Amino acid sequence: MASSSRSWRYNVFPSFHGPDVRVTFMSHLKKQFQHNGIIAFNDEGIERSKLIGTELIRAIRESRISIVVLSKNYGSSSWCLNELVEIFKCQESAGQIVMTVFYKVDPCHVRKQMGEFGKTFKETCEGKTETQVHKWIHALTHVANIAGEHSVNWFVLVFYP
Identify the pLDDT of residue 53: 78
Mean pLDDT, residues 126-142 taken together: 97
Confidence of residue 1 (pLDDT cuts 50, 70, 90): very low
How many domains does the chain divide into? Answer: 1
Which range has the worst mean pLDDT, 66-75, 127-136, 150-159?
Answer: 150-159
Residue 35: pLDDT band (50, 70, 90) is very high
- pLDDT tens digits, residue range 65-114? 999 999 999 999 998 999 999 999 999 999 999 999 999 999 999 999 99
Asked if 26 and 14 touch (Cβ cutoff 8 Å), the reply is yes
Q: Give the per-residue pLDDT at 5.
A: 61
Domain housing 74: 10-156
Considering Cα of 117, then 11, then 148, then 154, what sign does the dihedral take? negative
Q: Is 4 inside a domain boundary?
A: no
CB 66 within 8 Å of CB 96: yes
Starting at the edge strand that comes first in sequence, how are the strands of the sheet with 149-150 ordered?
10-16, 63-70, 97-102, 149-150
Across the chain, mean pLDDT equals 88
Render 30-93 in DSSP notation, one character per residue: HHHHHHTT--B---TTPPP-SSPPHHHHHHHHTEEEEEEEE-TTGGG-HHHHHHHHHHHHHHHH
The answer, yes or no, to whether residue 28 has pLDDT greater than 80, is: yes
Residue at 5 is within a domain: no
For the annotated catalytic residues, the residue numbers are 83
Is 32 a member of any domain? yes
CATH value at residue 92: 3.40.50.10140
